[in-house]
Amino acid sequence: MEAVVIDAGSSLLKAGYAVPDRNPAMIVPIKMRGMVEDDQSADIEVLQDISVDPIVRGVINNWDAMEDLLHYVFYTGLGWEVGNEGQVLFADPLLTPKVIREQLVQLMFETFNVTGYYASEQAVLSIYAAGRISGCAVDVGHGKIDIAPVWEGAVLHNASKKLEIGGMDLTELFARELGKSNPNVSLDLSIVENLKETYGCTTEDEKAFEEISNTFQEEKHTLPDGQVLKTAFKRKQF
């Protein structure tokens, strides 16, 4: 059985078997919602409104949720059988605290009974995926930005940088801008995230940015609850 490769970010988890030239078998959201067990009498709607983020800005902060997520990935998504587990290659975020790495190793061996486990830094794996052993890896994610120079398969930590800003911060900024032009509309961040991915764009240079800004027109978007949202703001340059 090929080893399972896990790349868990602050927004998505990608998992699949280590087979050349094959896309990940699973790409699932990291956010989890409450579920009602058979012996629970709690309000179902209240529990479903509770969401949990196992990973925040690249760091695992809820181990119970992370265990549940990995259990789903291994046994439901990838088809592992209890007693016949395989090996795991885990993509380790830049500058992960030692205590987090140790607890993850303990979880893999004691809970999932893996036959082998190896954690490689994301920057190294990115460079390898490009067919090189040296380079500079820039990882822009949902909750952070990692910049790491790699020399012959090793990360130069003294020259690396982790910035705790990412896509989630752009979403919050987008929500504030939409709130200014739509004060009577209640906005959910998940909806704002979809709008950002629909209307957001980047340009190669200043000239292209000015051309897009000059052609921008007000657009209307109907939310699932029937509210109409106007994108009455100019495109911004960051």
How do residues 202-238 score in pLDDT, each as one tens digit? 777 888 877 776 666 667 778 777 888 776 555 554 4
Which residues, in sequence order, are CB contacts of 111 under 8 Å at separation 6+?
67
**Last residue of one domain, picked from the residues 68, 103, 125:** 125
Clarify whether residues 219 and 118 are in a common domain: no
Helix axes 98-110, 63-71, angle to 10 degrees: 40
The reply to whether 108 falls in a domain is yes
The reply to whether 205 falls in a domain is yes
Per-residue pLDDT tens for 89-145? Answer: 999 999 999 999 999 999 999 999 999 999 999 999 999 999 999 999 999 999 999
Report how far residue 217's alpha carbon sits from residue 232's, in angstroms, rounded to the nearest whole number.
Answer: 8
Clarify whether residues 22 and 114 are in a common domain: yes
Per-residue pLDDT tens for 24-63? Answer: 899 999 988 766 555 555 555 555 557 888 999 999 999 9
Q: What is the pLDDT of residue 39?
A: 55
Clarify whether residues 207 and 117 are in a common domain: no
Strands (E), 12-76: 12-17, 26-29, 32-33, 51-52, 55-56, 59-60
Rounded-to-10 torsion of CA 222, 224, 225, 231: -30
Containing domain of residue 70, as a range?
A: 4-125
Question: How many residues are there in the chain?
Answer: 238
**How many structural domains comprise the chain?**
2
**Last residue of one domain, picked from the residues 69, 91, 125:** 125
What one-letter code names the amino acid at 65?
A: A
The pTM assigned to this predicted structure is 0.80
Structure-block tokens of residue 160:
């690396």
The reply to whether 131 falls in a domain is no
Clarify whether residues 24 and 115 are in a common domain: yes
The reply to whether 194 falls in a domain is yes
Query: Nearest 5°: phi and psi at 128?
Result: -60, -40
For residue 75, give the CATH number of its domain. 3.30.420.40
* Number of neighbours of residue 175 by Cβ within 10 angstroms: 17
